[in-house]
Structure formats: C-alpha cells, structure tokens
Amino acid sequence: MIKRITGWLVLVPLCVVLVVFTLANRQMVEVRFDPISPLNPLISPVEVPMFIVIYAMLLLGVVLGGVATWFTQGRQRREKRKWRRQAKKLEQEQRQDSETGSGSTKPRLFDAS
C-alpha cells in the first residue's frame, strides 16, 4: 500500500511537469538529418514541435541504455543459466539416490568433467 501511495506521489507531479513542459515548448523547430550539405540536403528538413524532439531523444536514450545494459549483462545471464542447469542436475541425482536408497558416502558438489 505504501508503494502505491509513493508511486502516486511521484507520478502525478511528474505528469504535471511533463504537461507543463509540453505546453511551454510548442513552437515548431526544423529538424535536419543531413549535416554535410545544409543548403542542398538529401533528406528534406522536417518541422515538428520542440517537445516531440526532446521526448524522442529521451526515449532513444532510454532504449539505447537498455540495449547497452542487456549486452553488458550477457555474461551474468550465461553464468546464471549454467548454475541453474547444474542445480537441476544435482537435484535429479539427489532424487535418484533417495529413490534407490544408494546414497554415496561423499556428496558430489561438482561434475568431474
């Protein structure tokens, strides 16, 4: 319940700030995609409200940050999958040993391979 109230206390003012920001930045700006030849561009410039440009760059930054984080965490995900497989294998071995009643005297923690 506290998380829900805290969420509302953060989200409502944030939404109000975003709406005020949007209303304050309605002027049209020209977005150019060809920095090499501004006089004769290959792609014609587009006029959009400034808040759309700012929101689009913010969204692009969030997406690129998420992708970069996903790539850097690849090693940890791989290790986690390995440890899960190892734990599943050990659980199966333990279950088989308990079913047959032939438990070894020394527990095997790691695979010999």
Q: What percent of the chain has pLDDT over 90?
A: 46
- For residue 6, the SS3 value is helix
- Per the structure, the complete domain to which residue 39 belongs is given by 1-51
Interval 59-102: pLDDT, tens = 999 999 999 999 999 999 999 999 999 999 999 999 998 888 76
- Residue 38 pLDDT exceeds 80: no
Task: Mention every residue, 6+ apart, whose C-beta is less than 8 A from residue 90.
Answer: 108, 109
Tell me how many degrees the CA angle 109-112-113 measures, rounded to the nearest 5: 130
32 in any annotated domain: yes
Q: For residue 109, which phi and psi values (nearest 5 degrees)?
A: -90, -35
91 in any annotated domain: no
pLDDT at 1: 84
Q: How confident is the model at residue 112 (pLDDT cuts 50, 70, 90)?
A: low
* Number of domain units in the chain: 1
61 in any annotated domain: no
31 in any annotated domain: yes
Task: Mention every residue, 6+ apart, whose C-beta is less than 8 A from residue 41.
Answer: 32, 33, 34
Answer left, alpha or beta for residue 101, where phi above 0 means left and psi between -120 and 50 means alpha: left
Amino acid at 18: L
11 in any annotated domain: yes
How far apart CA 72 and CA 66 sit, in angstroms, is 10
